[in-house]
Amino acid sequence: AKREGRARVCFFESETDQELRDRRLLQHDLRQALEQNQFLVYFQPQARMDGEVIGFEALLRWNHPTRGFVPPDQFIPLAEENGLIIQIGEWVLREACREAASWPRPLQVAVNLSPVQFQAGDLERSIHQVLLETGLTPTRLEVEITEGVLIGDFTRALNLLRRLKALGIRIAMDDFGTGYSSLSYLQSFPFDKIKIDRSFISNLEATPQSAEIVRAVLSLAHALNIPVIAEGVETEAQRAFLAHEACEQMQGYLVGRPDLIERYLDLVGVTVER
Ligand code: C2E
Ligand code: CA
Ligand code: CA
Ligand code: CA
């Protein structure tokens, strides 16, 4: 039994070492990714329940020279750990705003902000700068934040959100329902939109509880006059349920996958010569 125990410990230790090494390697590579143009911004359409596209969410992609595409869930935490997310996040914001400013149709563009961008640096100034530089009308920019932004220095985060809102930018609460205190944050700040987390939408058919939770979120949001977008809508059955419950908007593979903007040029009003 003793030997078994030791063997097991060794197994876990070596696995942890391996993971740690890999994490360091990725973190090292991340430092060069910006200068070497390895990042791309993908765009995913956001639509009304009738399918009419009203905007796009910018989603970061890292095309690693040897590993290929590394999922954001893997590298964003690393970039948050070493602070690189501040520069990377500003790059995404600039790319997304520049792209949106070039669209003939005045659609919205949504950009994800990391809690680290809120804690450090001068987020307000850099957003203001990007808006001036790209000429994007502030009301066309929506920033998506998770409750992580409000954990920590709550007052500072709240003041920053208020100043961003004063610039005309819209603020969406992302991943709604997954955290511990989503509800109390609704009380502290007038969010412009709530994004119901994908987990509730994917489970709509399978678990009756999910349908009840989605209904409850919608009725709460509507009582507070906050429009709701459902994430991860993949099927017509999900769309129909949400439309029936008066959900305002949807995003998901049913409308379109995240992709290079080239794929969506017709939607943004660029007529492509064929
Ligand atoms: P998120 O902000 O909740 O983004 C939604 C995720 O759901 C995206 O994953 C999107 O590709 C995926 N998705 C959208 N529709 C569907 C669907 O119908 N089915 C399924 N199965 N998935 C769908 P992605 O692009 O891998 O991004 C993962 C997370 O990485 C994002 O979650 C966000 O938290 C973070 N992220 C992405 N880009 C950025 C960025 O520029 N800055 C920051 N700070 N975080 C980012
Ligand atoms: Ca998001
Ligand atoms: Ca989300
Ligand atoms: Ca998420």
Centre of ligand 3 from the C-alpha of residue 67, in Å: 25
Centre of ligand 3 from the C-alpha of residue 172, in Å: 10
Ligand 1 atom nearest to 60, measured from its CA: 38
- Per-residue pLDDT tens over the stretch 105-145: 999 999 999 999 998 879 999 999 999 999 999 999 999 99
- Per-residue pLDDT tens over the stretch 141-156: 999 999 999 888 889 9
Q: Are strands 228-230 and 249-251 parallel, antiparallel or unpaired?
A: parallel
Give the ligand with the smallest distance to the CA of 114.
1
ipTM (interface predicted TM): 0.98
Best residue for ligand 1 mutational test, from 57, 70, 112 (most atoms within 8 Å of Cβ): 112
Give the ligand with the smallest distance to the CA of 250.
1
Q: Which residues surround ligand 3, an ion (CB under 5 A)?
A: 174-175, 231
Tell me which residue of 269, 213, 271, 272 sits closest to 242, measured CA to CA: 213
Angle, CA of 254, 243 and 113, to the nearest 5°? 60
Ligand 1 atom nearest to 92, measured from its CA: 41
Cβ neighbours around 63 below 10 Å, total: 14
Centre of ligand 2 from the C-alpha of residue 174, in Å: 6
- Per-residue pLDDT tens over the stretch 21-65: 888 999 999 999 999 999 999 999 999 999 999 999 999 999 999
